[in-house]
Amino acid sequence: MIEKEFNWFLENQEELVKKYNGKILVIVDQEVKGAFDTDPEAYGFATKNFDYGSFLLQECVPGEEAYTITFHTGIKFK
């Protein structure tokens, strides 16, 4: 599911950057559900509103620097 959201971001990156440049996007079902200034703000919103594994947090910047992927899970390591 995350791959689908990331591919949607890539396909729409140019338009998204025009609208949300520099923001952290919460993407669900190939739609921007929120745009935030920081990762913690975006993550807090996403985890309160969506199930783990159903959303993508994506930095919205131009070019390939946006292609770094970090995955977060609900798994706690000891």
Helix ranges restricted to H, 1-78: 2-20, 39-49
Q: What is the pLDDT of residues 9-64, one digit of tens each?
A: 999 999 999 999 999 999 999 999 999 999 999 999 999 999 988 999 999 999 88
Give this prediction's pTM.
0.83
Asked if pLDDT for residue 75 goes beyond 70, the answer is no
**Alpha-carbon distances of 13 from 2, 7, 49, 78, rounded to whole Å:** 16, 10, 24, 37
Q: Which residue has 């070019």 as its token pair? A: 63
